[in-house]
Amino acid sequence: MKRMAIYPGSFDPFTLGHMDITQRALNLFDHVYIAIGKNKGKDPLFTAEERKIQIENVFRDDSRISVIIFDYLLVDLMKELGTNVIIRGLRAVSDFEMELQMASVNRVLYSSSESVFLMTSDKYSFLSSRMVKEIASMNRENLKKFVPPAVEVELYKKFQS
């Protein structure tokens, strides 16, 4: 039986930190669904559809990844896909409290759901989508240090004046 997991998030945009977590998840699971939450973040830089295309481009050659958009409860999506595993990334202790809360809520809503927390590489422990957006709005030269090429090119276009 295929071991499947779902990696939900905003991914606005998808960073090398997200990539690191996805690759770690692929060491544990046969298939990973990257699920873009549509309603999270009131004022996204990229639409969910744009983010989906970007992430699909990042994993163009990897059939173990599917990218989906959802705008309802994560646990309902999990039941639909037939997986009970949620992947989340941890950067620092500060991520933990919120993640614990979400994992507990998901377990109340879907008792067999399990949250798997993966620790990012040290070199990405500072990296967030918010930081990438701030840098991109001021200086586009260093973006390749933070995002995959398929995202870099879209950030470049977005902030081109």
Residue numbers annotated as active site = 18, 42, 91, 129
Q: Please pick, from the candidates 65, 89, 106, 135, the single residue that binds ligand ADP as defined by CB under 6 A.
A: 89
Residue 44 in contact with ligand ADP, rule: CB under 6 A: no
Residue 9 in contact with ligand ADP, rule: CB under 6 A: yes
CA distance readout (Å), 91 to 16, 81, 121: 13, 27, 8
Q: Please pick, from the candidates 64, 79, 91, 133, the single residue that binds ligand ADP as defined by CB under 6 A.
A: 91
Q: Which residues, at least 6 apart from 87, have a Cβ–Cβ distance to it below 8 Å?
A: 5, 6, 7, 21, 25, 29, 32, 115, 116, 118
Q: Please pick, from the candidates 22, 120, 136, 143, the single residue that binds ligand ADP as defined by CB under 6 A.
A: 120
Measured distance CA(141)–CA(20) in Å, rounded: 22
Q: Which residues contribute to the site for ligand ADP (CB under 6 A)?
A: 9-11, 15, 17-18, 20-21, 40, 88-89, 91, 95, 120, 124, 127-129
